[in-house]
Structure 1
Amino acid sequence: MKAIKISKAGGPDVLTLSDVAKPEISSGEILIEVHYAGVNRPDCLQRAGLYAPPSGASPLPGLEASGVVVAVGEGVTQWSVGDQVCALLPGGGYAQYAICRADHALPIPKGVEMREAACLPETCFTVWSNVVMRGGLKSGERFLVHGGSSGIGTTAIQIAKSLGAEVFATAGSAAKVAAVEELGAHGINYRDADFVEVLTAHGGANLVLDMVGGSYISRNIKAMAPDARMVFIAFLESPKAEINFAQVMMKRLTITGSTLRPQSDAAKAEIATALREHVWPMIEAGALRPVMDQEFDLADARDAHRRMEQGDHIGKIVLRVK
């Protein structure tokens, strides 16, 4: 099969279209003929040699895909050959075929195109597990998400709005602010406004979803309401900061975080079940839809990574495989 390999750690040019062996499924797995693969920042980190795949996972990049089931492993009863699915992958999505655990796949929601479906798993798993399961967002709370125009950000805004939260989102340009406001968030252009001042004027954030870190950490604490929570999912600036923990004590704050890829198969299956119960109905009701940025052919994965790393994208980038 055709697949994108990482020839060595480096920039986008190390991505090469290659002929590789089709993966073989084991018990509890399904084989998917990939139609589209989502492009995510962890793919860029893996390509740069900064995010190794878990033991036993495919070394090929690609953490989510949509397509058609072409084979099922022993013990798989929930899927049949011919089913259309989107799936969270441990790796291997940048290829014509990919394998995943059967309980990490979900049906393509009604009314959703295959290209859009490829954008659902990584973002929905990440947002639901961190914003709801870990962060405990409730109706009526004020929710601050940084990187609001990213795939994660646009998904987080829509899920939070559907749950009845008041959403604030930072972004770095007028176009990106307009995009988050169209989704129902209060847009904050961090180049000319201070999100601490904005949130403080509204009573403080009850939950912060941060993928920046660094200098944002202490500012987040200042922007948070008493008894608020902060969840980290990435550190685009830095994982390190000097903070005043007296403020954490005085406000009774909870600070936590997680990464998705290293979690256990059971944990990911639990998230998938929650998505099918809570998020898939949002999608089918039209309350949540992937915000699409740009589509590239599989052979042009280098350009897709350049687009991701330039930071100008709004929403999701996908690779067309079939």
Structure 2
Amino acid sequence: MKAVSITEHGGPEVLRWAEVEDPTPGVGEVVIDVVASALNRADVMQRWGLYPLQPDWSPYPGLEVSGRISAVGEGVTDRQVGDEVCALLTGGGYAQKVAVPAGQLLTIPKGVGLAEAAGLPEATATVWSNLVMTAHLRAGETLLVHGGAGGVGTTAIQIAKALGARVVTTVGGAEKAARARELGADVAIDHRTEDFTEHGPYDVILDVVGGDYLERNVRSLAADGRLVVIGLQKGLEGQLNLAEIVFKRASVHGTTLRTRSKEYKAEVVAEVQRNVWPMIENGTVKPVVDRTVPMADAAEGHRLMEAGGHLGKILLVNDGSA
């Protein structure tokens, strides 16, 4: 098979579409013939060498795919060859085939195309695990979502609204702000010209930015507020006023889904299948796809993501597989 290899750390030009060894399913795993994968910020960080890989992870990027099962490993009884699925991965999605634990598989939601479904697992699992399982977002609370134009952001806006929250989001530019409001955001802030602290306080903040947003995030929290940091786009360090934490009874969570155990991921995937898939099938939550790019031209997809002009997911599609 072919996969996208990272030949060295650097810009998009280091990505190469090359022949690699076919995967085989281990115990409790299946192999998927990949129709499509989707870009995530972690893929870009991996390419730059800023996301250290664990020994048992695939060296190829790609945290989610959709496709058809082509092989079933020992111990898998509820899946069979030919099933159309999408899946949450630890890596390896930029390829023609990938092995994945059966517990990380999802059915394709009714009304969603097979290639389009590739952009669902990572965003929905990230949003549900952080907003609901970690921050316990409740109806009537106010949520601030940073990066509301990205794959996680567009999903978070819609799921939070479906849960009955008031949603505020930050985006870059008037066009993205308008689109965020179309997706359900009550307030869309252009971070280039407005200060999000003026629209608080917030019961929950979902932060993909990191860095110097930390101090302003904590200052903007309501009493008993919860800040969940899931990204580090603006750096690894920020100032923290402990008095703000103590007197607000606030909590700060740092989480990443990729490093979790397969058992935890299976739990999240089951929660998503049970709670988010009905929202997608009834039209409450809609996949947001900016564009598709051939898998063999993953470098172009990375250039588009780093340019920052996209809204929602950028998909990588294998030729002739959809």
Both proteins in one fold, TM over 0.5 = yes
**Is 1:227 the equivalent of 2:224?**
yes
- Classify the secondary structure of the residue corresponding to 1:260: coil
Partner residue, 1:191: 192
Deviations 1:72-130 (A, max 9, x none): 00010111111100001111111111110000010000110112200011111111111
CA-CA distance at 1:239 after TM superposition: 2.2
Corresponding letter in the other structure for 1:188: I
For the pair 1:210 / 2:207, whether they are aligned, the reply is yes
Cα drift, residue 55 of structure 1: 2.2
Aligned to 2:288: 291
Structure 2 equivalent of residue 149 of structure 1: 149
Whole-Å Cα distance in 2 between the matches of residues 74 and 162 of structure 1? 39
Report the equivalent of 2:64. 64
RMSD: 0.9
TM-score, L = length of structure 1: 0.97
1:167 partner letter: V
Give the Cα–Cα distance (whole angstroms) in 1 for the partners of residues 124 and 90 of structure 2.
15
Structure 1 residue runs without a partner (length 5+): none
AA matched with 2:279: M
Residues 160, 167 of structure 1: 8 Å contact kept: yes
- In the alignment, which residue of structure 2 is the partner of 1:19? 19
Correspondent of 1:315 among 295, 309, 312 = 312
In structure 2, distance between residues paired with 1:10 and 1:245? 37
Bigger drift between 188-197 and 144-153 goes to 188-197
Count the aligned residue pairs: 318
- Partners of 2:184 and 2:24 lie apart in 1 by 44
Q: In 1, distance between residues paired with 2:188 and 2:115? A: 27
| Counterparts of 1:153 and 1:8, CA distance in 2 | 30
Distance in structure 1 (CA, Å) of the matches to 2:58 and 2:105: 17
The aligned runs of 1:76-91 (5 Å cut-off) are: 76-91=76-91
Cα distance in 1 for partners of 2:150, 2:228 equals 17
Q: For 1:168 and 1:302, how far apart are their aligned partners in 2?
A: 33
Amino acid corresponding to residue 19 of structure 1 in structure 2: E
The Cα of 1:279 is off from its aligned counterpart by: 0.6
Is the CA contact (8 Å cut-off) linking 2:206 and 2:228 kept in structure 1?
A: yes
In the superposition, the TM-score normalised over structure 2's length comes to: 0.97
1:54·1:261 contact (CA, 8 Å) conserved in 2?
no
Tell me how far 1:243 sits from its aligned partner.
2.2
Percent of aligned positions with the same letter in both sequences? 49
Distance 2:297 2:173 in 1: 27
- Deviation at 1:234? 0.8
3-state SS of the aligned residue for 1:241? coil
Q: CA deviation at 1:191?
A: 1.3
Give the counterpart of 1:253 among 247, 250, 254: 250
Match of 2:276, SS state, is helix
Alignment match, 1:28? 28
TM-superposed deviation, 1:268: 0.4
Mapping of 1:43-192 within 5 angstroms? Answer: 43-185=43-185, 186-192=187-193
Distance in structure 1 (CA, Å) of the matches to 2:148 and 2:54 = 28
Return the alpha-carbon distance in structure 1 between the equivalents of residues 285 and 175 of structure 2: 20
**What is the DSSP-based 3-state SS (H/G/I as helix, E as strand, rest coil) of the residue aligned with 1:114?**
coil
CA-CA distance at 1:24 after TM superposition: 1.0
Which deviates further from its counterpart, 53-62 or 222-231?
A: 53-62
User: Unmatched 5+ residue regions in structure 2?
Assistant: none
Once residues 281 and 118 of structure 1 are traced to their aligned partners in structure 2, the CA distance between those partners, rounded to angstroms, is: 17
Contact 1:5 1:16 in 2 (8 A): yes
2:8 is matched with 8
* CA distance in structure 1 between the aligned counterparts of 2:300 and 2:167, rounded to whole angstroms: 32
- Render the CA deviation track for 1:174-232: whole Å, top value 9, x for unaligned: 11101111111010111111111122xxxx10000011112211111121111110000
